[in-house]
Structure 1
Amino acid sequence: MGRISRVEVVANLASGGVGKDAATEIEKILADHGLTAHVCAPETRDLTNCLRAAVDAGPDLLVTLAGDGTARAAAELCGPHGPLLATLPGGTMNMLPRALYGTRSWQDALNVALSEGERRTIGGGEVEGNTFLVAAVLGSPALWGAAREAARYHEPILALARARRALRRAFTGRLRYAFDGGVADKAEALVFMCPLVSRVMADEEAALEAAALDVRGAADAFRLGINALVRDWRDDPAVESRHARSTRVWAASRIPALLDGELVRLHSAAEVVYRPAVARMLAIPKDT
């Protein structure tokens, strides 16, 4: 794995899967491996300053204990030539940590990563300078992510207002898209899965799993939801799925997008591309 001496840690204590004693636990685990670290554990939702300060410190390893959105921000700041990154499961979905460490607790994941981990360059997607390592959702369904975030931070009035807005936008703003320079088509939403988490792609595949959701109303949405529960959602007739290295997307107005759980606003025309090297991760061997 190579020598690690300087370690920075950013932990979101407000996240449900972390716990108030997480900072002390991390320090103990690192000490057991002969390492000391500077730990930043803010009690607010804004981790940006902590992440930037941690990366600017130039550590050999940056450890995040938070959700996929924080992992995405950390990977974006580190880049393929910055600090090695370990993203521990401390959020709701934890899709990226599951892909790297399996279903282990964050404590076990850190222990195994430090004792058996290997450096692995991870590919992912990029749109308008924003990277994602797990998945991106473009179109009106992405607006539900803002409602979810407000609910998670116990802001019911804001959550309700955002939910109503998402409902008003549903089935009203269709996207146009073209996979890899092909024929243009329309869809209600587009979903992009990175190779690391896609169930139908190899980790080494140099493309994104791209799916166009042609959901025209509540009945289609209900059917798609049922199919997602009982079988592979890719088999639903409302879904066109393929592998794509580059996808042009355009609409009549700005495009809402959910990147690894974080809502961003894209311009009315954007391009989603695969990047082979987004960040360097401390991962465990695949057969461990």
Structure 2
Amino acid sequence: MTETPAAPARGLTPHFPLKRIEIVINPRSGSVGAKAALEAEALMQGYACDFRIAELDPERMGPTLDDAFSAEPDLIVVLAGDGTARTVAARAGPDGPAIAPLPGGTMNMLPRALYGTTDWRQALESALTEGVEHTVAGGEINGEAFYVAAILGSPALWAPAREAVRTGKLRLAWLYGRRAMRRAFSHRARFQLENDPFRRGEALVLLSPMISKALDRPVGLEAALLDPAGAREVFHLAATAAFSDWRHDPSVKTRTITRARAMARRPIPAIIDGETMHLGSELQVKFVPRAFRALAPKPEAAADSV
């Protein structure tokens, strides 16, 4: 861990007080790299604030985060994977320090939603110079927080295959894909939205107000129960939901919800903000209107940088 004093230079955002910043970096995550801490230190030297950088060791993540939070900073910057960003945001909650989750993981769903870029240096500079406080709404599934999107059901089975393709492990990707095809549609789950009767389906997709095209206020989660005829269609619809405007597909009908349930005979696969999980065979979903505070440019500024 290195401690670095403030150095007068470029101006910080006038919209949020930034006197003390904690930066936690996992150099082994995604595309972060071994030199990220040095790059972050060089970048931070250009701003008039106190900051401290700590490299995360997965085996000592708890103590490192304890140290960062105990410093009572104005902002905690996270350059790590999707799971670590979720962990820090959930720990901060609505009353803790603001969080700047930079793109350092595989899918980078939360960083992309906030900053509109997959370059962590650009995201950090935009947060420091243009950042305003955002109260981020999200949801919880059996206590696991999500802030962008969650997919419950068979489409989540394809996440390992997609990751294997990304890393060039084509035979492993083929094996994962074959397993996903075999399990898809073999044990559909039952889903309940609000107090409606349970319905069988292949997947429940949930979008937070941060990326939903249908919600202009944090009043719930945008939800769709998908039950298409074939495997290819369900995977296409789920991917469309998370990364573009699924309302262009006439077969998808969405609604706003504040709670839902899912039940199946076997553990239900899930992708929560880019992280694959198995949370059990009975899932409870709830909307969280005030999940944590983020420091990011105004939405139109983030969109311009995509």
TM-score (norm 1): 0.84
After TM superposition, the structure 1 stretch with the greater mean CA deviation from structure 2, 179-188 or 101-110, is 101-110
Residue 255 of structure 2 corresponds to residue 242 of structure 1: yes
**AA in 1 matched with 2:96:** G
Query: Secondary structure, in 3 states, of the residue corresponding to 2:32?
Result: coil
> C-alpha deviations, 1:105-148, integer Å up to 9, x for none?
32232222212312221000111111001110101221222344
Q: Distance in 2 between matches of 1:235 and 1:77?
A: 36
Q: Distance in 2 between matches of 1:34 and 1:79?
A: 27
Paired residue total: 284
| Change over 3 Å in CA distance of 1:200–1:32 after alignment to 2 | same
**AA in 2 matched with 1:270:** L
Residue correspondence of structure 1 range 55-70 to structure 2 within 5 A: 55-70=69-84
Q: Distance in 1 between matches of 2:165 and 2:70?
A: 33
Query: Secondary structure, in 3 states, of the residue corresponding to 1:114?
Result: helix
Residue 59 of structure 2 corresponds to residue 37 of structure 1: no
Query: Secondary structure, in 3 states, of the residue corresponding to 2:45?
Result: helix
Aligned-pair CA distance for 1:226: 11
Question: Which of 193, 202, 211 is the equivalent residue of 1:197?
Answer: 211
TM-score (norm 2): 0.79
Q: Distance in 2 between matches of 1:57 and 1:154?
A: 41
Q: Structure 2: state its 5+ residue gaps.
A: 1-14, 302-306
Query: Secondary structure, in 3 states, of the residue corresponding to 2:155?
Result: helix
Identical-residue share of aligned pairs (%): 45
After TM superposition, the structure 1 stretch with the greater mean CA deviation from structure 2, 184-193 or 237-246, is 237-246
Partner of 1:83: 97
Partner of 2:231: 218
Residue 139 of structure 2 corresponds to residue 125 of structure 1: yes
- 8 Å contact from structure 1 (residues 246, 274) kept in 2: yes
Q: Distance in 2 between matches of 1:153 and 1:84?
A: 33
Question: Which of 111, 119, 144 is the equivalent residue of 1:105?
Answer: 119
Q: Distance in 2 between matches of 1:284 and 1:237?
A: 33
Residue 38 of structure 2 corresponds to residue 24 of structure 1: yes
Aligned-pair CA distance for 1:237: 5.7
Q: Structure 1: state its 5+ residue gaps.
A: none
Residue correspondence of structure 1 range 126-205 to structure 2 within 5 A: 126-149=140-163, 161-202=175-216, 204-205=217-218
Partner of 1:262: 275
Partner of 1:275: 288
Partner of 1:253: 266
- Name the Cα RMSD after superposition: 3.1
